[in-house]
Structures are given as C-alpha cells and as structure tokens.
A and B are shown apart, each in its own frame.
Chain A
Amino acid sequence: MKYSSQMVAKPYFIFALMLLAGEIIFGLTMSIQYIYGDFVFPAIPFNVLRMVHVNLLIVLLLFGFMGSTYYLIPEEAERELWSPLLAKITFWVFLVAGVATILGYLFVPYAELAKLTMNDLWPTMGREFLEQPTITKIGIVVVVLSYLLNVTMTVIKGRKTTISIILLTGLFGLAFFFLFAFYVPDNLVMDKFFWWFVVHLWVEATWELILGALLAFVLVKLTGVDREHIDKWLYLIIAMTLIAGLAGTGHHFFFMGAPGYWLWIGSIASAAEPIPFFLMILFAYNMIKNRRIQDDNKMALTWAKGTAVVGFLGAGVWGFMHTLAPINYYTHGTQLTAAHGHLSFFGAYVMIVFTMISYAMPILRGRPHGNCAKAQKVELASFWLMVIGMIGLTLALTVAGVMQIEMQRMPDSAHALAFMEAQAKITPVYIVRSLFGVMTFLGLLTYFYSFFVKDDKKVA
C-alpha cells in the first residue's frame, strides 16, 4: 500500500461481501418459493424477497465500486485521498441508510412504507430496481455526490491518468442517470421510457466504463505492461460501449409503447453490444500474455480473466440471444430475461468487484505479495464453485425460458398454455436452478474461509 488513505477501501469491501451473502440468501429463498409457493409466505411475499434481492445487489455493487475507487484513485493520482474522513462518514451514512431501507422492506408492508416515508409528496416508489423510498433515493444522491467530490478533488490535485479520467466519467454518468429515478410521469409508457435511462444506461453504458477502468488498473499493476498499450485498449473498449450501448437502449423499447423505429435501431445497435465485452477478453489475455512481471497474487489475475470471460458470456452471448426484435417478440419478459440478468450482473460486475478485492485486500492486510499459496488454493476452489454455480443456474433458467416460450408464447391463443400451467411444468428445472444456487453460496462461503487460511510453515 503506497498511501495510507487507501485503507478506507477496506470496510467498503467487507460490507460489499456481506451484502453479497445476503443477496444470495434471499435469492435462494425466492428460488424455493418458485417451487413451494407457501414457503415463508405470508411472512415474506415474493415481491419483498425480490426487492431485497435486487436492492442488495445494487447497493453491494455501489459499495464495491466505491471501495475500488478509494483504493485506486490515490495510486493513480499519486497523492493521499482528498478527505479520508469524508470517505469514512459516507460509508457509515450509506450503511445505515441501506440497512434501514432493507429492514423497512422486510418488516413494514410496502404500501405502509410508502405512507411512512411520505411517498405522496414526491412519488418514486414501486418501480423495478427503484423500489427505495424517495428519502433513501435522496440519501443515495447525497452519498454519491460526496463520494464524487472526494474522488474528483483527489484527481484534480494529483496526477491525471487515462484510467482515472475514464473511471470518473463513468461515475459522473452513474450519478447523472440516477436522477431519472426522480421522474415518474403519470403516463406509464413515458415512465418506462425514462426508467430505462437509469437501468440500461447504468449497466450497459456508464458501469461498463467503470468496469473497463477497474480491469485496466488491475492489469497495469499485475502485468507491468506499458500504460500506452493498456490505455489504447481501454479507449477502444469504451468507444464500442458507447457506440453500441446508447442506441442499444432501444432493445428495451420494442414492445412497451415506444415508436416502431426502435425495432430496427434497437436490434442493430444492440447486436453490437457484445463487441466491447469480446474486446475485454482479448484485452485481458493479451496483456497477461505480454506481462513483464510475475506477481505472486495469481488469484487476482484469475478473477480478471474470469470477469472478462463470464462478462462476455452473460452480457454478450446471453444478451445477443434475445436482443433482435423478431426473437425478443417471443422471449420478452420470460425466464430467458432472468437467465441473462443473472450471468451478466455476476460476470461483469460482481466479478470485477471480486477482482479488485482479491487484488487489494491482501495489500490492505499487509501482504504485498498476495495471500499465501494455501489461501489462494482455497480461493481458486471458491472461484470455480461460484462460476460453475452461476453458469449452471443460468443454463437452468435458459431451459426454463425456452420451455415457457414453447408452451406459452409460440402456440396461438387457442392452444397456448396459461402462465401458471406452463410454470407448473417447469418446476423440475427450478429445482436444478436452486441446487446450482446452493453451489454458488457454498462458493462464497469458501471465499470467506480463504481470508482466514494461514500458511502451515509460517504458523509454526
């Protein structure tokens, strides 16, 4: 660790991992409710489980990005963080707001929560991923602004690198597009249209800039490849991200009431969305092939390659599967969408956070050469458990989606099965999905365990 203020990243990383455990536990609970509808009902109905599941994901990724930035920025700027104290304060503010919101979801009926938080004054609740009470959303804005201030001041006063500028661009984009969460028109179609400005332009545009910058940082550190070379790749990746990803928003505008030209524009633009993810694979493998240093932290490199490959599979391959309008006509809003969502969020965003944690945590814990070989072995096992678990559950959801489409979507109105009948026939596949979910969770527990593994020789 070169700068003592990088230490503020540590609690962010630890809390992000705790939230990930919570996210998986709620996911597993939902997957059981898919099979036994009475499981934990009426104590926690499905919509509440889902709200907690997806909100934990968003918050854990924000914590992960923040921790990663606080670690990265001092090294890139070659100076201490502008205000480590502010970073500590925002951590606790965000933690308390996040925990309070999740407890609110769990212990107060949602309509009651809307009343308690005076949603009528400025209604923003009850939309997918943006379920947070308005007051929490305002809290998120405050936290993100103070974080941006801290990071921007550090960069302004220090060395400016391509990586830090692109990371900042992504973060400002994240903050800007979140503001659309406060716009809720009475017209449902307008509402949906601008809702995607938050959701799509986060995950398929601005977050990809963040992902690219974090990946580039880890590769610079672990491979010792010339920055000129790394920066060039990074520019190409994010150029393709914006060219394909912005107009690619159109693949969400096919069938929700937007003009018909999106059928063409959305299909064509989003067909190019796998390209930046494919470039990320080439990028990671090329840099590693041409590396000039051998870092003892092999796991960080494994995660870096993993995030590139699984990100491409989840976002690129599984996205492309149903991004063309004539196909999406049948797949829109089926389990296939869920399959894509799970693997892309895991591969692109959860795994880049793992990459950063696996790179930075050993250093923050006073192990500049990475964890001991034995701990890395355990971590490698956790890597495969989680990756295979997630790919397995994605394949299960894909089969579920295809079955649903065959039974419910493809036949004409006289012959199509009703939603609930089709779902009943898919139950065996949902059991397989749950089992792979358990595997993923065991992988995470193994990962946690790897933090406590000590080298046999040194113990004695």
Chain B
Amino acid sequence: MSERITKDMARNIYFGGGVFAILIFVGLAFDSAHQIPKLSHSENITKSVVAGKKIWENNDCVGCHTLLGEGAYYAPELGNVFQRLGSSDETTFKAYMQGWMAAQPLDTPDRRKMPQFHLTPEQVNDLADFLIWTSKVNTQQWPPNIQG
C-alpha cells in the first residue's frame, strides 16, 4: 500500500482530511451546544441547583462516584439516585439525603468509606436539588436499569 502513496499524497490526505474533520466536528459541536439547553431542561436550573453543582465540585464527589456514567468507579452512579433511593419523590429523597450525609462515614468494617463532608442542611438540600435536576436530563434511556 505505502509504496504507491507518495509523501505529497500523504500530506494532502492529512491536510484535506484534517480540515474536513475539523469542519464537521465544529459544526456538530455548535449544533449540540444549541440543543443541549433544551435536552437538559436548562430552564429548571434554579439557584439551588447551581449551588448544588458547586458543592458537588468543591468536594470532588466525582473522585469516587460516577454522574451520568462519568467519574470514578469506586462508588455508585448518582445520575439516577433520585429514582433509586428517593423513589422519584422530592420529600422522600431530601429526607434520605439529610440522613445519609449526616451518617458518614458508616461504621461497617472494611466497607468502602464515604468521608464526612460537614455540609449544612441547606447545602445538602442544594446538593439534592442538583441531583434531582440531573436525574431529569435526557440520557437516551441510560442507565439500563435502576441500579445505575
């Protein structure tokens, strides 16, 4: 194969193919950036959801958990935790979150441990709002089942 291709041909494939690939990618990226606010229900991002995202980031939650499948694989997926542990009910989920966050780390020997983050009840509430918003993102029906 390579004998019939000259260096100039190879260079042209690189420049031509490269420019073509960049144009396609940039075009699709623009379209996605335009569609994502709708697909993710940007209109439901309240102050509390924004504050919850900050808490998520400032405590590096993604260093153990996955969120919509991305992150570390040490602890459970949280994109659908609202459905899994809150039965898709806000009051139930928020009560659960307050109890769960306060109880860490659990006293079970050799179980993987979640640190105590010393969040205020208000911060836990924001975090819950962030996770509830996330659970409603259109993820093409992922995950396959409730266990995430």
Chain A residues with a Cβ under 8 A of chain B = 33-34, 36-38, 41-42, 45-48, 50-51, 110-111, 114, 119, 123, 125-128, 131, 184, 186-193, 228-229, 231-233, 235-236, 238-240, 242-243, 245-247, 249-250, 252-263, 265, 286, 329-330, 332-335, 337-338, 408-413, 416-420, 423
Contact = CB atoms under 8 A, between A and B. Distances in A.
Nearest to A49: B63
B70 A413 contact: no
Given A235-B11, A257-B137, A409 B144 contact: yes
B147 A418 contact: yes
B71 A246 contact: no
Interface string B1-43: 0100111001101100110111011001101110111011010
A190 B36 contact: yes
Given A114-B58, A254-B142, A416-B145, A333 B137 contact: no
Interface string B84-121: 00000000000000000000010001111101110000
A188 B69 contact: no
Contacts of A48: 60, 63
A233 B142 contact: no
Contact of B14 (A119, A242, A413): A242
Given A110-B60, A188-B134, A256-B70, 13 more contacts: A42-B116, A46-B113, A47-B62, A47-B115, A48-B63, A110-B59, A186-B53, A188-B137, A189-B137, A246-B21, A247-B21, A409-B144, A416-B145
A51 B74 CA distance: 13
B134 A256 contact: no
A332 B80 CA distance: 14
A125 B6 contact: no
Contacts of A50: 63-64, 72, 74
Contacts of A188: 40, 53, 67-68, 130, 133-134, 137
Contacts of A258: 32, 35-36, 39
Interface residues of B, number: 75
A41 B59 CA distance: 16
Q: Which 3 A-B pairs have the closest CB atoms?
A: A47-B63, A126-B57, A333-B69
B10 A255 contact: no
Contacts, number: 236
A420 B112 contact: yes
Given A41-B105, A255-B140, A420-B112, A186 B70 contact: no
Contacts of B69: 255-256, 332-333
A165 B147 CA distance: 49
Given A186-B53, A258-B32, A419-B77, A41 B145 contact: no
Contacts of B32: 193, 253, 258-259, 262
A264 to B, nearest CB: 11
- The interface centre, meaning the residue of A42, A110, A114 with most chain B CB atoms within 10 A of its CB, is A110
A235 B28 CA distance: 25
Contacts of B111: 37, 420
Contact of A235 (B14, B33, B117): B14
